Amino acid sequence: MHTRYEHNGLIWVDLESPSRDEVQDVMDQFEIAPLVAEELLLPTTKPRVEFYPTYAYLVLHFPALRHSHKTPEQEIDFIVGHNYIITTHYDTIDPLHKFSKVFEVNTLLDKSNLGDHAGFMLFYMLKNLYGAVEHEVDYVRHALDVIEDRIFSGHEVAMVTNISRSARDLLNLRQRIEPHRDVLRDFEAGGPQFFGTAFSPYLRTLSDEYYRVHNHIMRATESLHELRETNNSLLTTKQNETMRILTIMALLTFPLALFVAIFDIDAISNPIIGLPYDFWIILGAVLTIGAGMLLYFKHRKWL
């Protein structure tokens, strides 16, 4: 799908799962190198940034959690010239879609002020994308708050799965975001020569946005580790308490069962069997021994 936006001399071409003809048309119109144009047709495994005489080429991968997307990772290719920007992706990118709606409205109202070159448009796009990642982190943090409340409400066993799910989400976020560090560092180093020194503060702001989001992910990961340790401790304590009770029950019932079994032996010289009230004598003895054992366990603070 090919979408084109224009305003104040700036052009944005958005390609979603482009065909070869669409890529060829963009290549001819903006004089894109054939090797770069070929990479727009297929996903790229590693993020990177490359500078060409008339444009910069960036590849970044962003997480896509809690959405009905094809994969948890979404790739966006950016080709940024002086007065144009080309974005290519292979699935719907929610932040880009929202950005396009705002851009259209501002264009119609003539209120859009994106600067005098396409680098500013890239800056606002990436800010929106990092804001979406931060929203994903906030969602995970909310899930951790719910997990914390349920852990201390006696649902430790049920929270094992929830903790593992949150750990998977945070791992996906971290794996997709961390490669951005090197790309943004290289972009910040080469960007001023391409866009001008006046654009340097915006490049530093993009790096700051990345580090802010990354720090939020790491803080959420630390909270998750603490919750996991707490949950494991509570589970261990509960299991130990259960084993202690079962052990005391076994220790209590075995001697009593042995006592009853002895008097159940069909022997001639049994001292109790055959006496008046023999059943009640045995029952009283069992209750007395059981009560004595319970008092002993309580005295030893086993109960």
For residue 192, what are the contacts with CB-CB under 8 A and spacing of at least 6? 199, 200, 203
Question: 2-235 maps to which CATH number?
Answer: 3.30.460.20
The span from the first CA to the last CA of the chain, in angstroms, equals: 71
Determine phi and psi for 150, rounding to 5 degrees: -75, -30
Per-residue pLDDT of the chain (303 residues), as tens digits, is: 778 888 778 888 999 888 888 888 888 888 888 888 888 888 888 899 999 999 999 999 998 766 555 677 888 999 999 889 999 988 888 888 888 887 776 654 445 566 678 888 899 899 989 998 999 899 999 999 999 998 888 888 888 899 999 999 899 899 889 999 999 999 998 888 888 888 899 999 999 999 999 999 999 999 999 999 998 888 888 877 778 777 777 777 777 777 677 666 666 666 766 667 767 767 777 778 777 777 777 777 766
CA pair distance 216, 214, nearest whole angstrom: 5
Contacts of 245 (CB under 8 A, 6+ apart): none
Q: Which pTM value belongs to this model? A: 0.77
In angstroms, the CA 17 to CA 90 distance is 4
In this prediction, residue 141 carries a pLDDT of 92
Give the DSSP per-residue string, 140-205.
Answer: HHHHHHHHHHHHTTT-HHHHHHHHHHHHHHHHHHHHHHTTHHHHHHHHHHHHHHHH-GGGHHHHHH
pLDDT at 153: 85
- What's the confidence (pLDDT) of residue 69? 57
Size of the chain, expressed as the number of residues it contains: 303
Which run of H or E residues covers position 78? strand 73-80
Neighbours of 73 (CB within 10 A): 16
DSSP 8-state assignment for residue 82: S
In angstroms, what CA-CA distances link 66 with 77, 135, 249, 281? 22, 11, 48, 69
Q: Compute, in degrees rounded to 10, the torsion defined by CA atoms 190, 196, 197, 200.
A: -60
- Predicted local distance difference test score (pLDDT) of residue 182: 92
Residue the block writes with tokens 């803080």: 219
Kindly report, as residue ranges, where domains of CATH 3.30.460.20 are found in the chain. 2-235
User: Hey, what's the torsion of the CAs at 104, 208, 65, 124, to 10 degrees?
Assistant: 10
